[in-house]
Structure 1
Amino acid sequence: MAAVTMHLGEIGQQLRAFRLESGMRADEIALRLGVSRAALYRYEKGEVIKLDTVQKLAELLNISPLTLLGIGIEYYNCPNKFFQKMAAIESDIEQILQVSDPVCYQVTSPAYDAILLEAQTDQLQKNGQDITTTPVVLAQSKRRALYSQRNPSIISMLHESRVIDFLTHGVGAGVPMSQPLRHKARQVAVQEIRNIITLIDAAPMGLQFSVIPDTITVTSCIFMRHSEQMAVAINPFRCDCSPNTTTGVALITSSLEAVTTHQHMLERLWQTSLKGADAIGRLKTLVERHGAA
């Protein structure tokens, strides 16, 4: 019962989001759940919900009851859907501890999105496809705005080998680009790393970076905390990936064992990674060796 109580607020948020997005009236959803409209609103506020109602709600949301209770795992084989889910989680998050991209998307510049949109539009036009197809970067653009509004604490650890790949190939390494556009993408990558160097030097409140040496192998993962609720995401998708050429399965879980294990791993990694002047020195060296002129 403790697990159910801990996630009542999250269950309520999912229920309310479904009601608003589905366009269904509150009394319609209440009827499908077999409860009164007043009970529906109480559930949305995070009040205690019966297990048989949880089962019906899980069916309504098309997820497993265990996932709804924060015990199971949500899987995503589509980058767009994964990053949309991440944006929803980050709308109510207080702390992020991550090893993921060679940058921290929340503090990237507008040029990062612009180069990806330019490449995406160019490729779709060449293939005669509908240019309204949503690039991954648009699916997650809300994440940057949320960070600016809420300023959660972020610790982002950048793996040296991924930074090298980022500088060598530029933003959108897997996105088809013309040679001039690829060179531009490499220049944007250099600017993004230089921006991180500036942030490390300025040490803004609640935002920290470190560099993981390439001698250490680590899986991309993100630990997230809000009040007493925690979740972890294992993510194979880069923020600058192409939805048409990317395969993989991401997962998000609030399982206590999974969350605790990954939290401890990330905390140990933070202690052993390069920080401050050491991180700045390493990033400057990588820019000099691998960055575009």
Structure 2
Amino acid sequence: MAAVTMHLGEIGQQLRAFRLESGMRADEIATRLGVSRAALYRYEKGEVIKLDTVQRLAELLKISPLTLLGVGFDYYNCPNRFFEKLTALESDVLQSLQICDPICYQVTSPAYDVILQEAHTSLPEQKENAAPAILTQANRRALYNQRKPSIISMLPEGLVVEFLRQGVGAHVPMSETLRQKARQVAVQEIRNIITLMDSVPMGLQFSVIPENMTVTPCIYMRKSEQVVVAINPFRSDCCPAYTSGVAMITASPEAVLTHQRMLESLWQTSLKGQDAMERLKTLVAQHGAV
């Protein structure tokens, strides 16, 4: 895995993104900073920027200087906002190492999305602002199929067992008929993973984390000039109306390095290859829907 570095180009991209999000015009920001608009554009293209200018920019944009430099912490208490950001990050990611679901969403079948949308439309209290998080993630699978970045997905055994017993959308209210269908889809998704493990596709690896190990759901993403870590309490099959939590995204070197070491250690101790396949087959036989 790559070492953590900071690049002026990445800082420039951060500056431009926050400027556009703020709704402030470039000439307005330049005037309040006491620099020319051309200078501001040069900063956004990766020219050296003074720390006192970073401080004043952060104050104008109402963010912390560390966040502007790309080493701060962004927090998300809404699953949809988090998955929007995650999709944007994955648009140019080179490698992803993840522990966050009993499956790897990027390689799920369309049936996974369909069952969640069906469950949502059956909710009597459905509202526009409670749209299923799966709709926000619609581009994640397409992005993966288009770019094929490297993915290492570690599946916690406890989550796999719950997934097989409860089905897709374990915490989303459903009728018993729909719940049974969700269990069947869950079984098929795990079987699909077993098939992928057996075929060993390029750049895609799976392992199974033993049930007696407690892990923090997180995603490590290596981009061309930056490494980012997301601490993620939100399952890909969650419904915002029934989900509470706070996700965090950071490129802080200390946070990235700490999670990198943890993930590398887990990968070494988790079940891989034939052992992982046999374990998943056993779990399907023991807990899968009939």
| TM-score, with length taken from structure 2 | 0.90
Residue in 1 aligned with 2:120?
A: 120
What is the percentage of aligned positions where both structures have the same residue? Answer: 74
Matches within 5 A, 1:121-270: 121-123=121-123, 126-127=124-125, 129-131=126-128, 133-270=130-267
The one-letter amino acid paired with 1:102 is P
**Does structure 2 conserve the Cα–Cα contact (< 8 Å) formed by 1:102 and 1:163?**
yes
Q: The residue matched to 1:277 in structure 2 has which SS?
A: helix
The answer to whether the Cα contact below 8 Å between 2:76 and 2:82 also exists between their aligned partners in 1 is: yes
Contact 1:121–1:131 (8 Å) recurs in 2 = no
Cα deviations by residue, 1:140-175 (Å, 9 ceiling, x for unpaired): 222222212222111000010100001111111111
Go from structure 1 to structure 2 and tell me whether the alpha carbon gap of 1:23 and 1:77 turns closer, same or farther (over 3 Å shift): closer
TM-score (norm 1): 0.89
Listed as ranges, the matches of 1:50-89 within 5 Å are 50-89=50-89
Amino acid at match of 1:104: C
**SS of the residue 1:27 aligns to:** helix
- Check conservation: 1:190, 1:287, Cα contact below 8 A: yes
User: What is the CA-CA distance between 1:22 and the residue it aligns to?
Assistant: 6.0
- The one-letter amino acid paired with 1:220 is P
Contact 1:225-1:231 within 8 A present in 2 as well: yes
What is the identity, as a one-letter code, of the residue corresponding to 2:115? I
For the Cα contact (< 8 Å) 2:120–2:131, is it kept in 1?
Answer: no
* Distance in 2, Cα, partners of 1:131 & 1:122: 14
Q: How many residues align?
A: 286
**SS of residue matched to 2:242:** coil
The separation in 1 between residues aligned to 2:144 and 2:19, in whole angstroms, is 26
- Following the alignment from structure 1 to structure 2, what is the Cα–Cα distance between the partners of residues 262 and 6? 18
Whole-angstrom distance in 2 between the partners of 1:106 and 1:34: 46
C-alpha separation between the residues in 1 aligned to 2:167 and 2:98?
21
Q: Report the Cα distance in structure 2 between the residues aligned to 1:17 and 1:120, rounded to whole angstroms.
A: 33
Please name the residue that 1:45 is paired with: 45
Q: Would the alpha carbon gap of residues 51 and 86 (structure 1) be closer, same or farther in structure 2, given more than 3 Å must change?
A: same
Secondary structure at 2:289's aligned position in 1?
A: coil
Q: Give me the whole-angstrom Cα distance separating, in 2, the residues matched to 1:170 and 1:96.
A: 25
- The CA deviation string for residues 72-120 of structure 1, in whole angstroms up to 9 with x for no partner, is 2222111111111111211221111111100111111111111111111
Conservation of the 8 A alpha-carbon contact between 2:19 and 2:61: no
Farther off after superposition, 241-250 or 5-14: 5-14
Which ranges in structure 1 are unaligned for 5 or more consecutive residues?
none
Q: 2:175 and 2:34 mapped to 1: Cα distance?
A: 57
Displacement of 1:21 in angstroms is 5.3
Instruction: Give the C-alpha shift of residue 34 in structure 1.
Output: 4.2
1:202 maps to a residue whose letter is S
Deviation of residue 38 (structure 1)? Answer: 2.1
9-18 or 170-179, which deviates more = 9-18
In the alignment, which residue of structure 2 is the partner of 1:35? Answer: 35
CA gap 1:91/1:156 in 2 versus in 1, 3 angstroms: same
SS of residue paired to 1:233: strand
Query: Displacement of 1:131 after TM fit?
Result: 4.5
In structure 2, do the counterparts of structure 1 residues 103 and 60 end up closer, same or farther at CA, with 3 Å as the change threshold? farther
